[in-house]
Amino acid sequence: MALDDRKLAVLRAIVEDYVATQEPVGSKALVERHNLGVSPATVRNDMAVLEEEGYIRQPHTSAGRVPTDRGYRLFVDRLSRVKPLSPAERRAIERFLVGAVDLDDVVHRTVRLLAQLTRQVAVVQYPSLARSSVRHLELVSISSTRLMLVMIADTGRVEQRLVELPEPTAADEILELRTRINEKLCGRRLVDTPTLVEALLDEIRPEQRTTMAVLSSVLLETLVERREERVVLAGTANLTRGGILDFHGSLRPILEALEEDLILLKLFGEVEPAATRVMIGDETKIDNLRSAAVVSTGYGPHSTIVGGLGVLGPTRMDYPGNIATVRAVARYVSELLAQN
Amino acid sequence: MALDDRKLAVLRAIVEDYVATQEPVGSKALVERHNLGVSPATVRNDMAVLEEEGYIRQPHTSAGRVPTDRGYRLFVDRLSRVKPLSPAERRAIERFLVGAVDLDDVVHRTVRLLAQLTRQVAVVQYPSLARSSVRHLELVSISSTRLMLVMIADTGRVEQRLVELPEPTAADEILELRTRINEKLCGRRLVDTPTLVEALLDEIRPEQRTTMAVLSSVLLETLVERREERVVLAGTANLTRGGILDFHGSLRPILEALEEDLILLKLFGEVEPAATRVMIGDETKIDNLRSAAVVSTGYGPHSTIVGGLGVLGPTRMDYPGNIATVRAVARYVSELLAQN
DNA sequence: GCTGGCACTCGACTGTAGCGAGTGCCAGTC
DNA sequence: GACTGGCACTCGCTACAGTCGAGTGCCAGC
């Protein structure tokens, strides 16, 4: 059955009121607060239809209605208008992000900013190594058989690994290797390095091969294959806003899910270009997050995507507002990265 | 009034039972579970004295007794014996920490391990820059007027900063500066760098001075003065164990406090050598942590201290067990750092 | 197709009563 | 003097009954 315009308006009103008051909303209150132009009885009929279709439900007889996940989905897809940011918010964003000294700083400031503006849990993924290129590779000698490999990515991300050499290697050998590796890898995408490194192994002098083999295995194993993706989160205290009524009863499952980097990456890391993604309840595909919703988007310099960011909160959240904020923050961060 | 041995035994029994059951403990249950050799009535008299002295209190008139912060303090200082780790725990610790690829990895594994073993919130501070020495300083050119300063500390910590140069500088100039800086700073403690850098400014060729001035200001301002201390935490989901009965009613203040790096540093960062510190309730000096307790200790290679770690939980926690675990983990981490 | 009216449901709240764990006190005993 | 058994008392917890009211579904009428 198709829903006519008024029924949609009723659904929208229910979602908006419920998000604002956190209480089941009845037909009478609805006509009072929104000028729907019809009587409560009519609204009740519409509600009955909406309930039959699974967009709203009654917590118990003699209570008002509450949106279901399906109801929120419809609301997000068709009923919500984008809410422009307030000037105060814009200013907060700008002020917050200037003065960052390095990538760590940018990421941390961003996640706090997001948590503060949306009053939800915020998550920011570090620029993904999978989407980065090599800017520079440095080999720093620590002892004759031990050195530190430092990789600097174009995204500003820096990774270091300790390398045990099989035999003592002279400083100038190391230096030469460093030069060769940089010639080969600089500017290339990290995912392309395996073949390049393989080629390099053939090109260099035989006596350098064992050292190079160790280096390449560290490089490939710990940086390329096991791509260390990192995420930061902030604002967990926001989960306690509005009692424990959200998240039916216990924060436990939510907090547990937030401890799993893999889960966070799945939710916030896999973002397609220019799409703001909203996942509601079961759509997260995570059992512990049944009662939560996620708004995420990608960011990156010059319209590329190098990582994801977003917020997580109760399904009962201000979707239009959060979507607007997440987008705006992503845009600002992207600009910031483009400047570097 | 001095407490005789039996009264102390009663206090110990109360603490142990209350920690185990999370319920106010009465005189009858006490004599049943612990063989105190006296009747409930006698225990009641002792309890009355303990209450008068402020070691225990009654939640309400017809309930059993609960330890006060002062009671826990006495328990920790005089009544608890160190609980040896189980072999399973020892094995868990060893297994958990092998295979760490770099400092980040060590820190993250450690914090998870601690959270898992103690079932509390765990916190680990990164090796403090204030206590680190410079192992190597690298300058990586990004464009002619921009470079990245990478500092590697002896603790394995790596920090990077973007530097804007006032004028284009040739690669070999940069290289020369890098060598000079390393000659001067390698092996020196970070806190000693300001005077060394100043001296260096006088020694180098005049045309390099402006570049060097920029470098030194970044170095001193963002690494030495504003010492970026970092902390990692895990196990927040453990706060929800045992209902919200701990933390009288709301996790909110606890979660808020845990978001503040400054608070965490204060609790876990300021550790004297070889002392395991226990802070109970108000002793934390943090209002939000009234209902929490902290067990912390220092760690570092070769009996030095480079950072702190520990756990945070309800005042009603297993102090002997947590103290033992925190110490053991700190010892293992220290060994691991000594090997590098 | 909308509306007003009406009977009905059911959770929230209130007040009462009984139960029982636990206490404080006191007189008696070793 | 220290410990013990006994006893009256307190008070939170639970169960139960009764009332209230918000909100619904349905239906006849416009």
CB contact under 8 A, B255 and A244: no
Contact A250 B240 (CB under 8 A): yes
pLDDT at position A125: 96
**Secondary structure, 3-state, chain A:** CCCCHHHHHHHHHHHHHHHHHCCCECHHHHHHHCCCCCCHHHHHHHHHHHHHCCCEECCCCCCCEEECHHHHHHHHHHHCCCCCCCHHHHHHHHHHHCCCCCHHHHHHHHHHHHHHHHCCEEEEECCCHHHCEEEEEEEEEEECCEEEEEEEECCCCEEEEEEECCCCCCHHHHHHHHHHHHHHHCCCEHHHHHHHHHHHHHHCCHHHHHHHHHHHHHHHHHHHHCCCCCEEEECHHHHHCCCCCCHHHCCHHHHHHHHCHHHHHHHHCCCCCCCCEEEEHHHHCCHHHCCEEEEEEEECHHHCCCEEEEEEEECCCCHHHHHHHHHHHHHHHHHHHHHC
Q: Which residues pair with B25 in a beta bridge?
A: B65
pLDDT at A310: 97
What whole-number percentage of chain B has pLDDT above 90?
A: 51
pTM for this model (two decimals):
0.91
Collapse the DSSP code of B20 into the 3-class scheme (helix H, G, I; strand E, B; otherwise coil) and give the result.
helix
* pLDDT average, residue stretch A80-88: 88
* pLDDT, position A260: 94
Segment B213-241 shows an average pLDDT of: 86
B131 compared with A1, residue with greater pLDDT: B131
Q: Strand, coil or helix: what is B69? A: helix
Predicted pLDDT at B95: 86
Average pLDDT over residues B148-159: 88
Cross-chain Cβ contact A160/B148 below 8 Å: no
Report whether pLDDT(A226) > 80.
no
pLDDT averaged over every residue in chain B: 89
* Torsion angles phi and psi, residue A153, rounded to 5: -95, 160
**pLDDT-based confidence at A282, cuts 50/70/90?**
very high
- When pLDDT is averaged across residues A246-259 and rounded to a whole number, the result is 88
Q: What is the pLDDT of residue A208?
A: 85
Output the pLDDT for position A308: 95
For residue B265, pLDDT beyond 90? yes
Structure token digits, residue B141? 């050119």
In sequence order, which residues have a C-beta less than 8 Å from that of residue B324 and are 6 or more positions away? B82, B83, B84, B85
pLDDT surpasses 80 at A287: yes
- Residue A277: its pLDDT value, please? 94
Collapse the DSSP code of B138 into the 3-class scheme (helix H, G, I; strand E, B; otherwise coil) and give the result.
strand
Element (H, E) at B231: strand B231-234
Burial state string for A226-254 with b = 16 or more CB within 10 A and e = fewer than 16: eebbbbbbbbbbbbbeeebebbeeebbbb
- Is B45 within 7 A of strand D by CB distance? yes
Highest mean pLDDT among A165-174, A183-192, B67-76, B262-271: B67-76
The backbone torsions φ and ψ at residue B324, rounded to the nearest 5 degrees and listed phi first, read -60, -45
Chain B residues inside the 8 Å CB shell of A158: 148, 150, 158, 160
Bridge partners for A231 per DSSP? A125
- Three-state SS for B233? strand
Nucleotide nearest to A24 (CA to C1'): D23
The answer to whether the Cβ–Cβ distance between A158 and B158 falls below 8 Å is: yes
Question: Has residue B300 got a pLDDT over 80?
Answer: yes
CA atoms within 13 A on the CB side of B125: 30
How confident is the model at residue A120, as a pLDDT?
A: 97
Query: Mind listing the pLDDT tens digit for each residue in B11-55?
Result: 999 999 999 998 999 999 899 888 888 889 999 999 999 999 999
Average pLDDT in the B240-257 region?
Answer: 83
- Rounded Cα distance between B309 and B277, Å, is 11
What percentage of chain B exceeds 70 in pLDDT? 96
In this prediction, residue B274 carries a pLDDT of 66
Q: What is the mean pLDDT of residues A284-306?
A: 94
Other residues' Cβ atoms within 10 Å of the Cβ of residue B194: 14
Region A162-172: mean pLDDT is: 87
- C-alpha B305/C-alpha B72 separation (Å) is 28
> Is B244's pLDDT higher than 70?
no
What are the strands of the beta sheet with B292-299, ordered from one edge? B231-234, B121-125, B307-314, B292-299, B277-280
Nearest by CB to residue A259, choosing from B103, B160, B237, is B237
Residue of higher predicted confidence among B287 and B131? B287
Instruction: Return the pLDDT at A112.
Output: 95
pLDDT surpassing 90 at residue B144:
no
Contact residues, chain B, for A222 at CB < 8 Å: 101
Residue of higher predicted confidence among B141 and A111: A111
> Is it the case that residue B271 has pLDDT exceeding 80?
no
Q: Which residues of A lie closer than 8 Å to B, measured between beta carbons?
A: 101-103, 135-136, 138, 140-142, 148, 150, 152, 156, 158, 160-162, 222, 234-237, 239-240, 244, 250-252, 255-256, 258-259, 340
Helix H or strand E encompassing B298: strand B292-299
Rounded to the nearest integer, the mean pLDDT of chain A is: 89
The encoded tokens of residue A112 equal 């706090």
Cβ within 8 Å of residue B51, ≥6 positions away:
B57, B58, B65
Contact assessment for residue A23 and residue A66, using Cβ atoms and an 8 Å cutoff = no
- In this prediction, residue A338 has a pLDDT band, given cuts at 50, 70 and 90, of confident
Which pair of structure tokens corresponds to residue A138? 């440095």
- Give the pLDDT of residue B181: 92
Cβ within 8 Å, pair A251-B258: no
pLDDT digits (tens, 9 = 90+) for A109-151: 999 999 999 999 999 999 998 888 998 898 988 888 888 898 8
Q: What is the pLDDT of residue A98?
A: 80
The 10s digit of each residue's pLDDT in A211-220 is 899 998 888 8
Residue of A nearest to B340 (CA): A162
Q: How many CA atoms lie within 13 A of A105 on its CB side?
A: 18
Across A32-41, A254-263, B109-118, B254-263, least confident range: A32-41
Q: What confidence score (pLDDT) does residue A242 get? A: 72
CA angle at A251 for the pair A250 and A254, rounded to the nearest 5°: 125
Show which positions of strand C are touched by protein (CB under 7 A). Answer: 2-5, 8-11, 20-26
- Which class for A205: exposed (0-12), middle (13-18), buried (19 or more C-beta within 10 A)? exposed
Using the CB atom, is residue B5 less than 7 Å from strand D?
Answer: no
> Is pLDDT larger for residue A223 or for residue B305?
B305
Please give the Cα distance from A113 to A120 (Å, whole number): 11
Q: Once rounded to an integer, what is the mean pLDDT over residues A3-30?
A: 91
B-chain CB neighbours of A138 within 8 Å are 138, 140, 150
Length of chain A: 340
Name the DSSP letter for residue B232: E
> Taken in order A193, A194, A195, A196, is the CA torsion positive or negative?
positive
Residue B100's pLDDT band, with cuts at 50, 70 and 90, is confident
Report d(CA A334, CA A329) in Å as an integer.
8
Rg (CA), chain B: 26
